[in-house]
Amino acid sequence: MNSLANPTAQAVDNVLIYIFGVSLLLLLGITVATIYLVVKYRRSKYPEPTSDCHGNMWLEAIWTILPTLIVLTMFWYGWTNYTGLREVPDDALEITATARMWSWQFEYPDGRRANKLYVPVNKPIKVHLKSTDVLHSFFAPAFRVKRDAVPGIDTYVWFEATQPGSYDIFCAEYCGVGHADMTTSIEALAEAEYATWSQPQQPSTEPRGLTVLNELGCTGCHSLDGSEGIAPSLFELSGQQRKISVDGKLSEVTIDVEYLRRAIREPNAELVEGYDPMMPSYDDATLSDEDLQAVIDYLLGKVAEAESVQINANELLENNGCIGCHSTDGSESIAPTFKGIAEREVTIIRDGQEMTLKVDVDYLRRALLKPNEELVKGFPGIMPAADYLSDDEIEAIIQHLLKQ
Ligand code: CUA
């Protein structure tokens, strides 16, 4: 179970316990006194009133002032803790949560988007709440924070996770058929893990072999452009002939995978003519077989082209909330399922006319960019246009969907 030892939960719980405790004491006190007096002064024992008390100033002052003071302590305690929930610590990390039917999206200061709220522990987080359509409400029970997301109004909550873990987020304002599914989580990560997560996603376009050459310092002696320095250049090695000396005897080799492997693992066994035996050997402790292969592939020109950057369409669909309404397992709920979409014919309504068409690239593009112009029959026109995505991202999603 997640620890609730976080500032907002403790503040709210303390107030709750205090008010509940005072109320319980009063209830018990009044009930016990009532029962005691009812039994003690029952009619069979005291048929006539035993005293006649009117206008006792002290008594009236006490039962007016004492309850007022008690109620004021509840107010004061509640008020100071409430302002604590509204006053965000200065060093808070600010994240924008966008609510829409029926999913949450979180946007970080660097523009990164996610469908879960990833946060570092021991850092106050201010969540700006926005809604693109109707009323929603951000509710994180473990932090005792709940606030409406209202179109056109900026609202916020803050919280601080003190323990790594996964904490539920719900939508707490009825917002349509998908309301109950509008859930996600706060993923509180240890500082180091968060640092890794929040690293800008720079997909490396550099071949692994080149990275290894740079990391191991090979390029300090071996040029990559054909210029000869203290060591032979590594430029366009494939198929080249090299004069080498083995145990003082000269011979010639053709550069291939086997030669390169020997030249790296035991560089001084076969010396290239004209160079001194000064290269350190790289055993598998300093250079794994895998990296060795990557280096050799790179040197032989097998990976001359940088690996192209892949857009992860699956991640796009998740992070933009598509999966919130479109299932991938064939179940139909609020929106048509993605499963088998490529082989489907859809009946759509365009300008009030019903027509059936085959799902293809053009249809999917229209459905993404102008979803409500051609409504799939039987579904409400509630999908937001995905026009905030780049052309490449739209294309990647379409290609991905056609494979479903
Ligand atoms: Cu969003 Cu309920």
- Cβ–ligand 1 contact at 129 (below 6 Å): no
Distance from Cα 136 to the centre of ligand 1, integer Å: 4
Domain ranges of the chain: 7-86, 93-197, 208-299, 313-401
Distance from Cα 99 to the centre of ligand 1, integer Å: 8
- Cβ–ligand 1 contact at 136 (below 6 Å): yes
Judge: domain 313-401, CATH 1.10.760.10. Answer: yes
Distance from Cα 151 to the centre of ligand 1, integer Å: 13
Indicate which residue's Cα is closest to atom 1 of ligand 1: 136
- Cβ–ligand 1 contact at 179 (below 6 Å): yes
10 closest CA partner among 122, 119, 144, 121: 144
Q: Is 127 helix (H, G, I), strand (E, B) or coil?
A: strand
Return d(Cα 145, Cα 241) in angstroms, integer. 72
Return d(Cα 178, Cα 382) in angstroms, integer. 11
- Cβ–ligand 1 contact at 149 (below 6 Å): no
Matching fold, domains 7-86 and 313-401: no
- What class does CATH assign to 208-299? mainly alpha
- What class does CATH assign to 93-197? mainly beta
List Cβ neighbours of 219 (8 Å cut-off, separation of 6 or more).
Answer: 213, 234
Residue 68 host element (H or E): helix 57-86
Distance from Cα 183 to the centre of ligand 1, integer Å: 9
- Cβ–ligand 1 contact at 75 (below 6 Å): no
Return d(Cα 383, Cα 364) in angstroms, integer. 13
pLDDT tens-digit profile, the chain (404 residues): 456 788 999 999 999 999 999 999 999 999 999 999 999 999 898 888 887 778 889 989 998 999 999 999 999 999 999 999 999 999 999 999 998 888 888 989 888 888 889 999 999 999 999 998 899 999 999 999 999 999 999 999 999 999 999 999 999 999 888 888 888 999 999 989 888 888 766 656 678 888 778 766 677 678 888 877 778 888 888 888 888 888 778 888 888 888 888 888 888 888 888 887 877 777 887 788 888 888 888 888 876 544 445 677 888 888 777 887 888 888 877 788 888 888 888 888 888 888 888 888 888 888 888 888 888 888 888 888 888 788 888 888 888 888 77
- Cβ–ligand 1 contact at 182 (below 6 Å): yes
- What class does CATH assign to 7-86? mainly alpha
